[in-house]
Amino acid sequence: MYKISIVEDDKEIREELKILLQNSGYEINLITDFQNAEQQILNTESHLILLDVNLPQKDGYEICSKIRTKSKIPIIFVTSKNSAMDELNGIMRGGDDYIEKPYNVPILLARIQNLLNRAYPTDEISNLQYKGITLDILKSMLQYKEKEMELTKTEFKTLYYFFTNQDKIVSREEIIDYLWDNGVYADDNSLSVIVTRLREKLKDLGIENFIETKRGQGYKI
């Protein structure tokens, strides 16, 4: 589990951000003493830092510079200052990314994930499996009993969401929401089309009734 340090002086934001990131599966370390922020962060051995720029005793740029002398830990500046100069300053001091407040939550999570993937690359990409069907993540293919089927980006994303929510009923809204966060701008009608096409492809592989429709609730695999 990745550990993220949050350096933020606004108590409300700090606490809510902690809940949000915990819900997304991260371990959180809150920094409240800004005088020795860099030392505290380095002691906790975090994987990533969300660093506010405007802090009471010193500014985030300074903390960033100090951390950079000792560690290459990914740093994301999170600030409500949004001029080009501020961003440039952040990058010059060794920040890896720069996000403006108020942040869009999916974008924030995606940036964190990207940075973590880049900083700590893992070789193993686990393919997802359910009921004997394999979803090959690298090739974006479906495999079933030696047979293979190619998927479009949209179909893959939809199926990926089903696979990661096994045995759960997922609502149409949830799926559309997930697709939007992943750059597929589906509406209600197009989701129906996607599911129909997926069912056809599954049928070609010899799988029937894999995606069940739960009337008024959504789908389930």
Partner 1 sequence: MKFTGYIKDKINAILAFLIYNIIIFTYTNALQIDKNVIFILFTISCLFFITGFFMAYQRKRKYWQEIETILDNLPEKYLLSEVMKKPRNSQDLAYYKILKRANKSMLENVNQSRKAQKDYKEYIESWVHEIKIPITSAKLLCENHKSELTSKIDDEMEEINNFVEQALFYARLDCVSNDFMIRKVNLEEAIRNVLARNKKSMIQNQMKVEIDNIQVNAYTDEKWLEFILNQLIVNSIKYRKDKDSAVLIGTEENEKNVKLWIQDNGIGIKPSELDRIFEKGFTGTNGRRQTKSTGIGLYLCQKLCEQLGMGIEAESKENEFTKITITIPREKKIEQ
- Residues forming contacts to partner 1 in the complex (CB under 8 A) are 10, 12-13, 16-17, 19-20, 23, 54, 80-85, 87-88, 100-107, 173, 176-177, 180-181, 183, 185, 187-188, 190
Closest separation between CB of residue 39 and partner 1, Å? 26
* CA atoms of 28 and 109, how far apart (whole Å): 14
* CA atoms of 24 and 57, how far apart (whole Å): 30
Residue 167 vs residues 44, 72, 124, 130: alpha-carbon distances, Å: 37, 41, 25, 10
* CA atoms of 181 and 175, how far apart (whole Å): 10
DSSP per-residue string spanning 152-185 = -HHHHHHHHHHHHTTTS-B-HHHHHHHHHHTT--
Closest separation between CB of residue 147 and partner 1, Å? 33
Closest CA to 144 of 220, 210, 211, 206: 206
* CA atoms of 28 and 46, how far apart (whole Å): 9
Span between the terminal Cα atoms of the chain, in Å: 27
Closest separation between CB of residue 174 and partner 1, Å? 11
- Cβ atoms of 75 and 96 closer than 8 Å: yes
Closest separation between CB of residue 42 and partner 1, Å? 27
Closest separation between CB of residue 193 and partner 1, Å? 12
Closest separation between CB of residue 176 and partner 1, Å? 6
Torsion of CA 37, 42, 47, 51, to 10 degrees: 20
